[in-house]
Each structure stands twice: as structure tokens, then as C-alpha cells.
Amino acid sequence: MLLCLALLSVVMVAAKSQKTFDVAAYLYPAYAADDPRLRPFWPLGLGEWETVMTMQQRNPGHYWNRHPLWGYINEADPAVMEMEIEQATSHGVNVFIFDWYWFDERPFMETTLTNGFLKAKNRDKMRFYLMWANHNVENYWDTRIAHLGEKNIIWRGGVSREAFEKMCRRNIEMFFQQPNYYKIDGKPVFMIYEVSTFIEGLGGVEEATDALRWFRSEVKKAGFPDLELQFTMWSPQFNYSGFDAAKTDRPRDTFIRKLGFNSMSHYQFCHFTNVDDDYSAILEKAYMEWENLDKEFTIPYYPHVSIGWDNSPRTKKSAVTRNNTPERFAEALRKAKAYLEARPHLHPLITINSWNEWTETSYLQPDDVYGYGYLDAVKKVFVDGE
């Protein structure tokens, strides 16, 4: 009898250790060489790699001096994306959340997804979903004039009802129907970055609520059980990202439920706390934020971990996260894992900023500072179980 109990205990421990998690990294699709709409910001034709590559040329002797181990790759190339999918999945990252843009009645920076990811031969290894990055676009992407601080709005992130319906129908057909589109309980996930901008574009809360209700009905008509609408959480006093012209203030639970959101996460630590600090202090505030959101809201919060913050490549001067080593990043991942293990009713989703936000210094891709350190941290926690 004692032997049977011991064996049962071993089996239960093994089963627990084998629980799989969906580790989702945001992917910023500006590192592409075949998108003509990127040329006005980055005329060399490398996308925002130009900002990374010319940092020392523009600011000789500046402390920010990093280089990608994979080189200035074109992520809209399916062969390149195949390599990235292999690296991501072998290290435990199994979902890409594509920053997805819609300006001037059409998509923007979409080639990394459509030409790269969706044409990769091994794309089925990796799932994906969209985060609609519906912020206004100012001059910050263009380092030739960003220092002037003019804050001229190039494109507005808000859209009309007609544009919203066009956009949603296209996304349902082109992306939600993809077999590796990420779903929770069969429901395709769609995240909105700035809900305040969305509401403004639609003309008010009631109009926005009606538009989202329509979106949900269209998703059901397409054969899905429902839509998993995800809210990007902010706190009103923080916005270090530089080019977000508006932000979503921390809402009440009743407001989120009225609009019809099903879950939430963060995009970056800089959206809710002071990131000009030591990483350990930032993490303590992040853990408190997770717990507070879990208590304040009735919809699920999926824990978010940012790798760091420093947008000096764009702005020269920046708030800077200090001592954000791969070892400390791994500690944060273990906390996120424990958060979900303590809440078995939640889908096992963790979001990370990010796969490739080089100009914000928050990326998993290997560099000449830590090598594969951040990717290895994910592997240790979610693959090796350390």
C-alpha cells in the first residue's frame, strides 16, 4: 500500500512538472526590408534596424552600443522566420503576439507576418495572435527629426465604424482562420493596445461597445464559438514609450465588462511603473500589480514580464532599467509561472516584452552583451523546469 502511494505521488509530481505554458512574446514587425511604407522613417531599407545600426554614428561614444548576433536580418523573409521559429520554440517561446497596425484605411508593417511568418515552412510549430497597436504615430520613429520634439501626428490610431468593420472582416478571413492562430477555449484572441483611442475614433463608449458587439457576432458567424477580446492594461501616470500620443487609463471592472473584454495583460512595465530603476525594485512593483489586478477585476489577468527599458536609440536620453540580467529575468518568469500555478482555472498564458524591441532595449533575441542569455532563461524555466 505504501509503495502504491509513493508511486502515485511520483506520478502526480511528474504530471505537475509536465504542465505546459503558453509563453507569448510580442513581436514588433519593423525589422523588414521589403515594405515600402517603412522607407519614409528608415530610408536605408532595413526598417528600424537603421536606428540600431546608426546609433553610434548619430551619437558617438554613447553608452548604448549593442549588436544582434543574428545580424540585421529581414524578418519578412520566410527563411529568416523559419530560423527564428526554431530558436523561439526550442527555448520555450511558443506564441508570437504580432504588433499589428492599421493606418490610412490599410495595414501597416504587416509584411513580417504575411511574407515572413505565414510563409515559413515550420509555421505550425508556433501559434500567433494580433495586438492592434492603435496608437497615434508621431515623429519618434524618424531619428532625423525626432529630436525636434514637434510631436506632429502623422497617422491617427482611431478609426471610424466603417474602417473598423473593414479591418475586422479582413482579420477574420486572413488571420483568425489560420490553423495556428492562437485561441483560448476555441476563441481567437485579439488584443487592443489603446482602448481610449479606439473609443475616441468610434465616437464614444456606446458606439465603441456596439462596434465590439458587432465584431463578436462576426467572429461567431465565421464558425468560432466566440471572440477572446484582450485589454492592454495601463496606469495613467506612466508613459515612457515616447510615441504613444494617448494612453488607456486604468479603468474600472464594470467599464471593461461593459465593452465586452474577456481578459487582460500588459505590454510593457513602463506603462504602469517607474522603469528608471533597478530591475529588482521594478519586479516587486510588477508582482504587486499582478495581485492587485487579480483582486480588482473579474476578468482574468495574464501575467506580463518585460525584459527591460531604454529607448536611447530613438531619443538619445531615456529612462533606463538597471541590472536586468538574464538571471533576474528568469526569476520574474518563475514568479509568473507560480502566479498561474496558483490559479489553475486560468489559461496558462504569460506575455513577454518582447521578441525584438531593440530600440526599447527589451528583447529576447541574442546580442553581444548577454548572448543567448534571455532565451536561455526562458528555456530554463519553461523547458528544463529549473
Q: Does 2 map to a domain?
A: no
**pLDDT tens-digit profile of 36-56?**
889 988 999 999 999 999 999
- Residue 334 is part of a domain; what is its CATH number? 3.20.20.80
Q: Does 4 map to a domain?
A: no
Which range of residues forms the domain containing residue 93? Answer: 20-382
Pick the closest to residue 83 from 366, 371, 383 (CA basis).
366
Contact 102, 159 (CB under 8 A): yes
Q: Does 13 map to a domain?
A: no
Q: Does 43 map to a domain?
A: yes
**pLDDT tens-digit profile of 67-92?**
999 999 999 999 999 999 999 999 99
Q: How many helices (H) and strands (E) does the chain have?
A: 13, 10
Cα angle 342, 347, 350 (rounded to 5 degrees) comes to 80
Q: Does 345 map to a domain?
A: yes
Buried b (16+ CB within 10 A) or exposed e, 317-356: ebbbbeebebebbbbbbbbbbebbeeeeebbebbbbbbbb
pLDDT-derived band at 138 (thresholds 50, 70, 90) equals: confident
| CB atoms closer than 10 angstroms to residue 1 | 5
Q: Grid coordinates representing 80? A: 529568416
> What is the pLDDT of the chain when averaged over all its residues?
91
Number of domains, the chain: 1
Region 276-294 average pLDDT: 97
Say yes or no to pLDDT of 334 above 50. Answer: yes
- DSSP designation for 47: T
Q: Does 1 map to a domain?
A: no
Q: Does 115 map to a domain?
A: yes
Q: Does 14 map to a domain?
A: no
Interacting residues of 150 by C-beta distance below 8 A, sequence separation 6+: 138, 139
CA gap 1, 11 in Å, rounded? 15
Query: How high is the pLDDT of residue 140?
Result: 73
Query: How high is the pLDDT of residue 72?
Result: 98
Q: What's the whole-model pTM score?
A: 0.92
Query: How high is the pLDDT of residue 381?
Result: 98
> What pairing do the DSSP bridges indicate for beta strands 95-103 and 106-108?
antiparallel
Q: Grid coordinates representing 329? A: 529575468
Q: CA dihedral in degrees (27, 385, 342, 270; nearest 10)?
A: -30
Query: How high is the pLDDT of residue 273?
Result: 94
